[in-house]
Amino acid sequence: MSLQLGEIAPDFTLDSTEGPIELHDYIGDHWLIFFSHPKDFTPVCTTELGAFARQKPAFDKRHTKLLGLSVDPVSEHKKWIKDVEDVGGTAVNYPILADPDLAVAKLYGMFHPKADPKLTVRSVFIIDPQKKVRLTLTYPPSAGRNIDEILRVLDSLQLTDGRKLTTPVDWRPGDDVIIAPSVSDDDARQLFPEGWRTLKPYLRLLRFSSTQH
């Protein structure tokens, strides 16, 4: 199965390091970063879990929960967490799901047997409070993730959500945003009376923050 953007994230219940978790209930009215790990006690994953834990305050600020998944059982997760905390210097402060039967890994397209017949790939999903998939990223088992990029895209999604805006290449909070091409100039004047800069008829830049409207 391959999830597409805008689809409702399939619900499931799995055991975790913090007890059984039902996905939709866990999300509640939050955003969610859901990410998979190929296997416990692997070096890249150990660095990633610690990095997510260190960045949890940044996700909390964005009303966003974290949820990890690995194919080993909870008993192994709890042993592995000690290594993560030792390497990362931070307590693991979010749950890690146990998916030994690969049920959720296959449901979410995290298992790519042509890449590795035994391990899940390194996937990331951003899921919004309506339980819709808003971003998917798939890394090979060998490549660690960039958490700053995940935060950057989350910021973009939250800023533009429900607004007629998009964000340009390498956008960071505070940078100019783009008025969506579907918005006419007449409508844009109503939506953005402060004005904008026109680089091309279809490329109109605007300084905008989420506190403006």
Question: Per-residue pLDDT tens for 140-149?
Answer: 878 889 999 9
Number of domain units in the chain: 2
Domain boundary among 146, 177, 192: 146
Q: Are residues 140 and 49 in the same domain?
A: yes
Interval 164-175 mean pLDDT:
95
94 and 133, same domain (yes or no): yes
Are both 94 and 22 inside the same structural domain? yes
| Lowest-confidence region among 15-19, 94-98, 206-210 | 206-210
The catalytic residue positions are: 45
Together in a domain, 134 and 168: no
Left if phi > 0, otherwise alpha if psi is -120 to 50, otherwise beta: which for 205?
Answer: beta
Give the CATH number of the domain where residue 174 resides. 3.30.1020.10
Residues 33 and 91 in one domain: yes
| DSSP state for residue 11 in the 8-state scheme | P
48 and 116 belong to one structural domain = yes
In a domain, 152, yes or no: no
Domain at 42, CATH number? 3.40.30.10
Whether 173 maps to a domain, the answer reads yes
Is residue 51 in some structural domain? yes
Q: Residue 68: which domain range? A: 13-146
93 and 175 housed in the same domain: no
Same domain? 116 vs 188: no
Query: Would 8 be classed as within a structural domain?
Result: no
The C-alpha atoms of residue 136 and residue 185 are separated, in whole angstroms, by: 32
Query: Is there a single domain that holds both residue 61 and residue 135?
Result: yes
Query: Is the residue at 154 inside a domain?
Result: no
Residue-wise pLDDT for 31-59, tens only, equals 999 998 777 788 888 999 999 999 999 99
In terms of domains, do 193 and 136 share one? no
Task: Determine the 3-state secondary structure of 30 from DSSP.
Answer: coil
Q: How far is CA 121 from the centre of its chain?
A: 15
Under 8 Å between Cβ of 148 and 54: no
| pLDDT tens by residue, 95-141 | 999 998 889 988 998 876 655 555 556 889 999 999 999 999 988 87
The verdict on residue 102 lying in a domain is yes
SS3 content of the chain, % helix, strand, coil (to 5): 30, 25, 45
In a domain, 155, yes or no: no
- pLDDT tens-digit series, residues 172-203: 999 999 999 999 999 999 999 999 999 999 99
8 Å CB contact between 34 and 70:
no
Is 4 domain-assigned? no
Question: Phi and psi at residue 64, in whole multiples of 5°?
Answer: -130, 130
Tens-digit pLDDT profile for residues 68-105:
999 889 999 999 999 999 998 999 999 999 998 889 98
85 and 23: one domain? yes
Q: What is the pLDDT of residue 34?
A: 97
pLDDT band at residue 213 under the 50/70/90 scheme: very low
